[in-house]
Chains A and B, each alone.
Chain A
Amino acid sequence: MSPRGFPFVAGSLALALSACAGNGMGLDANGNPITAGGGSTGPLTADFKSIQDNVFTPICTKCHIGAGAPEGLQLDQTHSYAMLVGVPSAEQPNVLRVAAGDPDSSYIVLKLQGSAGISGARMPFGGPYLPQSTIDVIRQWISAGAANSTSATNAATAKAAQRFTVTASSPDPDSIATTVPNIVVAFSSDVDPNLLNATMVSLEKLDASNMDSTEPMPMSPMPMSPVPAGAASRSVAITLAVPHGDGTALLITPRTLLSSGTYRLTIRGNFADMNAQALGADYVLKFTVEAP
Chain B
Amino acid sequence: MTRLLRFLWVPVFFSALCAHAEPYLAVQMGLKCGQCHVNPTGGGERTAFGNIFAQTQLAATRLDTGSDVWTGQVMKFLSIGGDVRFDATYSQVPHASSTDDFEVQQGRVYASANVIPERFYVYVDEQVAPGGALNREAYGVYWSANHDWYIKAGQMYLPFGFRLQDQSAFVQQISGINMTTPDQGLEFGFEHGNWDAQVAASNGTAGGPETDHGKQYSAQLQYVMSRWRFGVAGNFNDASAGSKSASGLFAGLRTGPISWLGEVDVVDDRSTPTLSGRQLATLLEANWRIAQGHNLKLTDEYLDPNRSVANDAETRYSLVYEMTPIQYVQIRAGFRWSDGIPQDPAEHLKTGFVELHGFF
Interface residues of A (CB under 8 A from B): 1-2, 4-5, 8-9, 12-13, 15-16, 19-33, 57-59, 61-63, 65-74, 76-79, 90-92, 114, 116-122, 125-129, 131
Contacts and interface: CB of A to CB of B under 8 A. Distances in A.
A122 B99 CA distance: 15
A58 B237 contact: no
A57 B275 CA distance: 11
A4 B288 CA distance: 10
Contacts of B269: 65-67
B131 A67 contact: no
Contacts of B241: 67
B10 interface: no
Interface of B: 89, 91, 93, 96-97, 99, 103, 105-106, 127, 130-134, 167-168, 173, 176-177, 180-181, 183, 204-209, 211, 216, 237-239, 241-244, 255-258, 260, 269, 271-275, 282, 284, 286, 288, 290, 296, 298, 300, 302, 305-306, 309-315, 317, 339-344, 346-347, 349, 351
Given A31-B305, A71-B208, A8 B313 contact: no
B271 A67 contact: yes
Q: Interface residues of A: mostly helix, strand, loop or mixed? A: loop
B131 A116 contact: yes
Contact of B208 (A19, A29, A72, A127): A72
Given A119-B127, A129-B99, 15 more contacts: A1-B290, A2-B257, A12-B300, A20-B339, A59-B346, A65-B269, A66-B239, A67-B243, A68-B204, A68-B206, A90-B209, A118-B132, A120-B127, A121-B105, A128-B349
A58 B339 CA distance: 15
A70 B180 contact: yes
B167 A125 contact: yes
Lowest 6 CB-CB distances: which A-B pairs, in order? A72-B208, A24-B341, A67-B239, A16-B300, A67-B271, A21-B339
A29 B284 CA distance: 28
B239 to A, nearest CB: 4
A8 B241 CA distance: 46
Contact of A72 (B93, B209, B243): B209
Nearest to A111: B131
